[in-house]
Amino acid sequence: MGLLLKVFIPLLGAALAFYFYSASENFNEEMLRGKRVIVTGASSGIGEQMAYHLARMEAHLLLTARTEAKLQKVVERCLELGAASAHYISGSMDSPTLPQELLREAENTWGGLDMLILNHIGQTGFAYFSGDVGHVRKLMEINFVSYVALATAALPMLKESEGSIVVVSSIAGRIAGPFTAPYSATKFALEGFFSSLRQELIIDKVNVSITLCILGYINTESAVRAVSHIIRDTPAPKEECALEIIRGGALRRREVRYPPRAVSSILLIRSLAPEFLDSIIRSSYHVENVRRP
3-state helix, strand, coil in the chain (%, to 5): 55, 15, 30
Within 10 angstroms of residue 222's Cβ, the number of other Cβ atoms is: 12
Task: Report the distance separating Cα 6 and Cα 28, nearest Å.
Answer: 38
183 is catalytic: yes
Tally of CA atoms within 13 A in the half-sphere of 271 that contains its CB: 10
The dihedrals phi and psi of 245, each to the nearest 5 degrees, come to -65, -45
Task: Report the distance separating Cα 241 and Cα 216, nearest Å.
Answer: 10
Task: Report the distance separating Cα 133 and Cα 110, nearest Å.
Answer: 41
Grouping H, G, I as helix, E, B as strand and the rest as coil, residue 113 is: coil
Grouping H, G, I as helix, E, B as strand and the rest as coil, residue 57 is: coil
Annotated catalytic residue: which of 21, 147, 183, 217?
A: 183
Are the C-beta atoms of 165 and 190 separated by less than 8 Å?
no
Catalytic residue ranges: 183
